[in-house]
Copies of this chain bind each other. A is one copy, B any other.
Amino acid sequence: MSDLSALQAEVEVITDIDVLESVSRDQAALALHGRPLAAVRATSVADVQAVMRWATAHTTSVVVRGAGTGLAGGANAIDGCIVLDVSRMNSILEINQYERYAVVEPGVLNADLDRAAAQHGLWYPPDPSSWEISSIGGNIATNAGGLCCVKYGVTSDYVLGLDVVLADGSLIHTGRRTAKGVTGLDLTHLFVGSEGTLGVVVGATLRLRSRRSAGSALVVGSFPTVAQAGAAAMVISGGVRGPSMLEIMDRTTVRAVEAHLRMGLDTEAGALLLARDDSAHAESAALADLWQVVCKEGGATEVFATSQSDEVEAMFAARRAAYPALEKAGHALLEDLCVPLGRLPEMLERIDAIAAEHSVMIGTFGHAGDGNLHPTIVTPHGDEPARERARAAFEDIMHAALAMGGVLSGEHGIGTLKHEFVQYEIDASTMQAQERIKRALDPLCILNPGRKGLHS
């Protein structure tokens, strides 16, 4: 442990085993984690630089973590690593109302940023379901999505620039604060979604939008089957005016949510489809009428429409409760595939078939308008054979998505959970190019090694 003395001279170093255990994993079931050598709770850029300089000098792995809400094990500790916790770097440094950007530290929670923006009439759109508890640094590391992405885009669409500490402790500044700018190579988007493998994000300049007006309309269709709901989602998404949210919940999910929230959801439907519009009022009403027709013609047994904001919010609260509700029912293994929209009904059917094949319960919900689904495999706690079957179902779902031209992860990341499957999506030459970039920025491979499909 004497190695740590040089680090202890610069920052407070945590070696207490219980505390280390508390920062050794994120929220991904199934993903393994190791035992860290130590942890540091950084409160400044200088702290982060000190850790990285020490780690480079001692060729020690560093795993960065924010709020710890990750779903792919990307922040899980590695044996002998330093856990670098940046959650205390949580200041909003600037909100520029006129130029519409915010400058934040990585530990700022997504919801806190949005609330601060609201005070200036502005809005930070990316809204992962975890928005109340996940931090901007983690959102950037995973390129987090959310419910409004279908209309407003994902995290990467809102990152204008980053401050990043590299493996050797040097600090770089990427991007710009102007509306446009092409001066250097686009390093900003290289770091977005890189899951802690290329550098430590210590600051971000984020684009904000004008806050939306109050107008909101919601159509909820109850369908006999998931495939019918998926087909209706295809039609609604394919319209000239798309929805601002388009979400699906299958029967298993609806029942779990109803057991959790008791709000009178239709637990007999095969699936619910939620289509929301946020445009001006007259237009919303016309769109809602159209979507009701689409649902009915698509086989919906019941269609409900509302523009009352409390009812709209309650339905999306139900949708956001999907994962926590399923988690209450047992050990939950969460998927995050994304398929082309045209394959959505087929993928939904395939998931049901995989559940039957492996005798596991799968609750599927997700961002239907993006083809981004979160089938969640739930097994009884302590039932090891069931967990084995869950694992097999999990792999089958990934391969099914890839076979349909889909991807392994839409918004949660690869982390450790899907590390070994990246080779099935990305060919060897392209992976080699990724490895070269990894080594260029982190030649000792100390930043989150062995994650995201990167083997170097």
Contact = CB atoms under 8 A, between A and B. Distances in A.
Interface of A: 98-99, 121, 142-143, 145, 149-150, 154, 156-157, 166, 170-174, 176-187, 189-190, 192-194, 197-198, 210-211, 213, 234, 238-242, 280, 282-283, 338-342, 367, 369-372, 405-414, 418, 422, 425-427, 429-434, 436-441, 452-454
Given A186-B156, A193-B182, A422-B183, A340 B177 contact: yes
30 contacts: A98-B234, A98-B238, A98-B341, A142-B182, A143-B182, A149-B179, A156-B186, A156-B189, A170-B433, A172-B429, A172-B433, A173-B426, A177-B340, A178-B338, A178-B339, A179-B369, A179-B371, A180-B371, A181-B338, A182-B407, A182-B413, A183-B408, A184-B434, A184-B452, A186-B189, A186-B194, A189-B189, A436-B440, A436-B441, A437-B441
Contact of A441 (B170, B433, B454): B433
B411 A187 contact: no
Contact of A187 (B174, B409, B430): B430
A220 to B, nearest CB: 22
How many copies, total?
Answer: 2
B99 A341 contact: yes
A381 B367 CA distance: 59
B339 A185 contact: no
The DSSP consensus for interface residues of chain A is loop
Contact of A405 (B178, B183, B427, B434): B178
Given A98-B342, A283-B280, A372 B180 contact: yes
Contacts of A213: 240
Contacts of A431: 184
Given A166-B433, A340-B99, A430-B187, A182 B411 contact: yes
A103 to B, nearest CB: 13
A402 B182 CA distance: 14
